[in-house]
Every structure is written in structure tokens, then in C-alpha cells.
Amino acid sequence: MFDLILTQSLNGLASASSLFLVASGLSIIFGVTRIVNFAHGSLYMLGAYLAVTLVNALGPASGLGFWGGVLLAALLVGLVGLVIEVTVLRRIYQAPELFQLLATFGIVLMIQDIALASWGAEDRLGPRAPGFKSFVILFGNRFPTYELLLIAIGPVVLALLWLLFQKTRWGVLVRAATQDREMVGALGVNQRLLFTSVFAFGAGLAGLGGALQLPREAVTLHMDLAMISEAFVVVVVGGLGSVGGAYLAAVLIGILHAFGILIFPKITLVLVFLVMAVVLVIKPYGLLGRRPVGQTRGPTAEPLLTPADRATKLAGLVALLLLVIAPLVTPDYLLLTLTELVIFALFAASLHFMMGPGGMASFGHAAYFGLGAYGAALAVKWLGAPMEPALVFAPFLAGIAGLVFGWFCVRLSGVYLAMLTLAFAQIAWATAFQWVDLTGGDNGILGVWPSGWAVSKTAFYYLALMACGVAVLALRFAIFSPLGYALRAARDNPLRAEAIGIDVMRVQWVAFTVAAFAAGIAGALFAFFKGSVFPTYMAIPRSVDALLMVLLGGVQTVSGPIVGAFAYAGLSEQLTKLTMYWRFALGLAIVLLVVLFPRGLVGGFLALRERRLATEGA
């Protein structure tokens, strides 16, 4: 028993090292630039792929070839980081946090296709490290020496980072900027250089983490998202900006994995994210993190929200009429697209409700969409329910999940809230993926078909249009109701809101639940529309879809999410048809949009109109 505990602990420590390298880079970058780099997992993947190529080119048998290749790969990734910082991030430091996250997600998509084009879809196996190919016998178990090396690398890198931050001027600046960025700027430090070098350095650490994984596991195109969600957990548990915290959390998560596999093999993922949720609720800024000083952007002046004027109402009515008569004039395949668009419009509007007026950006809204879909599918599969009761039941499953998850989430704000929502979505995803007996796991649930009267494409389209139309209008109405005002009050100035009798957390909690419920309606319709459900309905990309729709339309407009849903879904569908490398194109489009229209499409249009009015008035 004792030897088992010991080997599993060693396994945990070994896997903690790469996780630590990636997470510490992410943490340092966040500390200084306040950017949560979604692309950090991609840099890790890039490091691994580059190392495969370089080590093979330099001669995998010699120590120089192997370690030279690994280090060169890390350097190259650092260079890639430098290019990313200079071309993209530098332009959006002043943009809202979410836009920054989104831009880095655009980079994730681009790197995915670059890797696909350069190294192909097949997994690549790296060579083993020369000199570290054998085993040692520890307590009767064979233990690879390379694992021991990795265990040592973690603390060594931690010590080196510590020296770097304590003993060099650059390190002191990084620490100072992490504590109070504005102060460092005010002292006349060249921020550009600091930010660029920090990003390149963090990227290099991620690349090194990826390159060091070569002898341990195959290099795949799925490394990026798998790593980034774990790195998020590590960074958040350890405390954003704290390198020591990152190491502590990496070890904790590594060991949790190692023992989780022994004890609860089916819910290891859930276990990891549960730990994160618990830590965040007890210590909202992580184990070693501190409440950031002077970095809260403060009560940013959000624009006035006014009810639609005549012209806007008319435009909305015309759009609705067009949607109503669409089946008479459009071919069948287009009607399918339209049905999907209508469902996504509700999905986007539900996210907008908590994100715009509520100020709570969710990175895991797909959880509620997916729970709605699974709610419907489970009702059909296990209860033999027909479509109508299943459609009614499903949103309640999503709503109840929103009630439970929301209780935790409203206790946090900003990036921390976004990451916690992501964690809950990963729990939902992992449950659907791993609880095979109930959900069918990866194979999903098939045969979720509508009732007889709604089988035809036209009938189902009208069903979706009606349900989504009513739900979207209800959400819109709620935004202008006292509840919606209280929600905005809580976002604008929680201190003032509490001082006039508004229970900020409770208002946000209700909004969270309402948003989850509405997403559940969309998900349930989607299940019957597709006739099946899969865990991917709850995966990160689906959550990002929703975010993109809302941001594309503009967060601070009520009609924005609907316009955004149509624009985004239309765009991505065209892209998938046009090119094999649609991810790259989509990623590029996202990056360009964020850089060019930081207020979203409708927001940009409104800004244009304001400017024109201003010049006319002058």
C-alpha cells in the first residue's frame, strides 16, 4: 500500500512539472499584462511539435541533438510569442478583458490549423531522451528515470524563476508590475518592452513544457485545449500572477490526478474542477494570490441603455416578418440553416442577459445549452417522453444547474468568474463524457426526434421560431424591467446598489439562473432539431461560439446578440464550406474583429452614428 502511494505521488509530481511550466508562464503573463492567454495551451502544443521536428533533425540519439532540439523549440515558441504580442496583443491592452480572451482564442484556432497543415492530423511520437531511457527500481516498482528528471525540473525551474525575479532588474520590474502596473508605468518604465519580453518569456516556458513532454506522450492536435483548461485550473487555484502558487497548485492537481485515477477513475476530471471550485469559494484569489491593487478597471462608464426607438422597432418587426415568411420562399437546406440560426439567437441572447446587463462574462455557457439538450434527450430515452413534455422539462434541468453553479459564480467577478464558469462547464462536459451508462458517453444519445406534427422542416422551423422569439422577447422585456435595472445597477456600482437596498448577489444569482434556463430552451430545441445529443454540445468551443455571437453584436446593446448570432453562424458556415482551413480563417477573422471593432458590430455602428450626429450638430 505504502509503495503504491509513493509511486503514485511520484507520478503526480512528474506530470506536475510540465503543467507548472505552462501555468507559470500563463501566470506571469497575466500578472504583468492582465491578459488571460487562451493560446497558452497552443504554444505548449507548438513546443511539442517543433521539438519533434528539431530533435529528429539534430539527431535524437545524441544528448546534444535531443536537448539542443528541446531548447531550440522553446526558444522558437518564445519568438512566436513575441510576434503574437507585437502584432495582436499590443493593440488590445485597453480593450475589455473578454475581447482579449477572445483574441487569444482566435490565435488558438489559427495555431490549430497551422499545426494541422505542418504536421498532419496523425499523432507524432517523439524519441526518448538519451541517457534517460531506463528504469530505476523504487519500492519494487519500475520507475522511468525520465520521470525522475521531470520531478527535478519543476523545483529547479521554480528556483531559477525565483532568482530571476529577485536578482535581476527585469525580474524586479515584473514583480512590481504584477503588484501595481500603473505605478510602474508612472515611474517611467518602458512598458512596451516589458510587456513584449514578458509575453515572449511566458511563451517560451510553455514551449519548454511542451518539448519536455516528448518522451512521455504522443504529440496530438488535442493537446492545446486539454492543457489550457488544466493550466487555467492551476493558475486560478494557485493565484493569478503567483509563480509559487502555480507550483503548489500544479503539484496538487498532478497528485490529485494520479490518485484520482486509482480511486475514482470515472470522475477524475470532475474531481479536478471540484477542487478548483472549492478553493475559489474559500480563497477567491487562489491559494497564494492576492487581491490585485489598482488594476480593477473601476466602474467603467457603460453607455446608456435606452429602449428601442421607432426605427429600431420597425427594423425588428420587418426582420421578424421576413423570418415568418421565409419558409415560403427559401429552399429546404436554407430552412435548416435558419432554424439553427434562430436557436443560436436565443442561446446568444441568454448569454447576453447575464453578460451585458449583468456584467458576468461566462466562459461556460454551453453547459446550460448542453444540459437543455441532454435534459430533452434523457427524457426521451429514459422516460419515453414525447417531444412536448421533454421540451418543457429540459430547461428546468439547465435552470437548476444554473441555480447551483450560479450560487458559487456570483461570489466572484471578472476573470475569476469567467474561469469558474469554464470549470463548471467542464464538469458538465466530463459528466456527459464519462457517465457512459446514463449518457452514452462519446457516442451520445440518438433518436431524439420531434413529435409527428413537427417532423417537417417547416413545422419545426415555426416551432423553433415561436419558442425562441417568445423567449428572446421575454429576456428583452426583463432587461427593461425593475429586475433588469437592478441587475445593471449591481454591475455599474455594487457599493451603491447595496446602499440602496439591492441584494447584489441575489439579483445576479437570479439572472444567472434565468440565463441558464433560457439557454436550456435553446439546447432542448437543438436536440430535437439534430435528433441527437453529444458531449461536444457542452465543450469549450461551443461556449466560445456563444461569446463570439454576443461580442460580435456588441455587449452593451440589446439587439446585438441576435445580429451577432446571425452574423457569426452565417460566417462560420460559409467558412467551413469554403476552405478546409476554416479554423484558421475564423481565428483570423476573430483577431481582426477584436482589433478593429472592440465594441462589436452593433456597438461600432452606434459609435459611427453618434459620431455622425455629433458632426451634424456641430
Partner 1 sequence: MSAVPANAAAEPVLVVRDLAKSFGGVHAVQGVSFSVEAGQMLALIGPNGAGKTTCFNMLGGQLQPDRGAVLLSGKPITGLKPRVVWRLGVGRTFQITATFTSMTVRENVQMALISHERGLWNPFAPARARHVAEADALLAQVGMSEQADRACGVLAYGDLKRVELAVALANRPKLLLMDEPTAGMAPRERIELMALAARIAVERNIAVLFTEHDMDVVFAHADRVIVLDRGRLIAEGTAEEVRQDANVRAVYLGSGAASGGH
Does 617 sit near partner 1 (CB under 8 A)?
no
Kindly tell me which residue out of 1, 137, 301, 329 binds partner 1, with binding defined by CB under 8 A: 301
Question: Hey, what's the cell of 515?
Answer: 440565463
Q: Which range, of 31-39, 67-75, 411-419, 480-488, touches partner 1 by CB under 8 A?
A: 480-488
With CA atoms as reference, report the closest residue to 214 among 366, 94, 48: 48
Q: Can you tell me the distance from the alpha carbon of 84 to that of 89, in angstroms, rounded to the nearest whole number?
A: 7
Does 495 sit near partner 1 (CB under 8 A)?
yes
504/539 with CB nearer partner 1: 504
Contact map string, positions 505 to 524, toward partner 1, x by CB under 8 A: --x-----------------
Sequence-separated (6 or more) residues with CB below 8 Å from residue 251: 12, 13, 16, 20, 154
Please count the residues of this chain forming the interface with partner 1, following the rule CB under 8 A.
Answer: 33
Does 140 sit near partner 1 (CB under 8 A)?
no
Does 1 sit near partner 1 (CB under 8 A)?
no
Question: Hey, what's the cell of 84?
Answer: 503574437
Does 614 sit near partner 1 (CB under 8 A)?
no
Q: Can you tell me the distance from the alpha carbon of 341 to that of 461, in angstroms, rounded to the nearest whole number?
A: 10
Classify strands 141-144 and 135-138 as parallel, antiparallel or unpaired. Answer: antiparallel
Kindly tell me which residue out of 137, 304, 325, 618 binds partner 1, with binding defined by CB under 8 A: 304
261/606 with CB nearer partner 1: 606
Q: Can you tell me the distance from the alpha carbon of 71 to that of 78, in angstroms, rounded to the nearest whole number?
A: 11
Does 499 sit near partner 1 (CB under 8 A)?
yes
Kindly tell me which residue out of 189, 218, 305, 336 binds partner 1, with binding defined by CB under 8 A: 305
In whole angstroms, what separates CA 549 from the centre of its chain? 14
Kindly tell me which residue out of 438, 485, 572, 607 binds partner 1, with binding defined by CB under 8 A: 485
490/525 with CB nearer partner 1: 490
CA distances from 113 to 46, 156, 266 (A): 11, 34, 31
Residue 401: exposed, middle, or buried by beta-carbon count in 10 A (0-12, 13-18, 19+)? buried
Question: Hey, what's the cell of 569?
Answer: 453562424
Kindly tell me which residue out of 269, 276, 472, 489 binds partner 1, with binding defined by CB under 8 A: 489
Contact map string, positions 556 to 575, toward partner 1, x by CB under 8 A: x-------------------
Does 303 sit near partner 1 (CB under 8 A)?
yes
Does 196 sit near partner 1 (CB under 8 A)?
no
Look at the block and give the residue holding cell 517560451: 204
9/493 with CB nearer partner 1: 493
Helices 223-238 and 414-434, axial angle in degrees (round to 10):
130
Does 387 sit near partner 1 (CB under 8 A)?
no
217/302 with CB nearer partner 1: 302
**CB of 554 vs partner 1, minimal distance in Å:** 14
Does 502 sit near partner 1 (CB under 8 A)?
yes
Question: Hey, what's the cell of 234?
Answer: 492551476
97/302 with CB nearer partner 1: 302
Kindly tell me which residue out of 115, 342, 478, 548 binds partner 1, with binding defined by CB under 8 A: 478
Kindly tell me which residue out of 188, 331, 501, 617 binds partner 1, with binding defined by CB under 8 A: 501
Does 484 sit near partner 1 (CB under 8 A)?
yes
DSSP H or E run through 138: strand 135-138
Question: Hey, what's the cell of 562?
Answer: 441576435
**CB of 513 vs partner 1, minimal distance in Å:** 13
151/507 with CB nearer partner 1: 507
28/472 with CB nearer partner 1: 472
Question: Hey, what's the cell of 42?
Answer: 497552443
Q: For 526-590, where are the E strands, in sequence order?
A: 532-533
With CA atoms as reference, report the closest residue to 439 among 447, 448, 431: 431
**CB of 105 vs partner 1, minimal distance in Å:** 27
Please state, as a whole number, how many other Cβ atoms lie within 10 Å of the Cβ of residue 390: 24
With CA atoms as reference, report the closest residue to 23 among 164, 258, 279, 229: 229
Q: Can you tell me the distance from the alpha carbon of 246 to that of 238, in angstroms, rounded to the nearest whole number?
A: 5
CA distances from 393 to 341, 440, 486, 534 (A): 23, 20, 29, 19
Q: Which range, of 310-318, 428-436, 478-486, 531-539, touches partner 1 by CB under 8 A?
A: 478-486
Kindly tell me which residue out of 141, 443, 481, 576 binds partner 1, with binding defined by CB under 8 A: 481
497/594 with CB nearer partner 1: 497
Q: Given the rule CB under 8 A, which residues bind partner 1?
A: 299-305, 307, 477-478, 480-486, 488-489, 491-493, 495-503, 507, 556
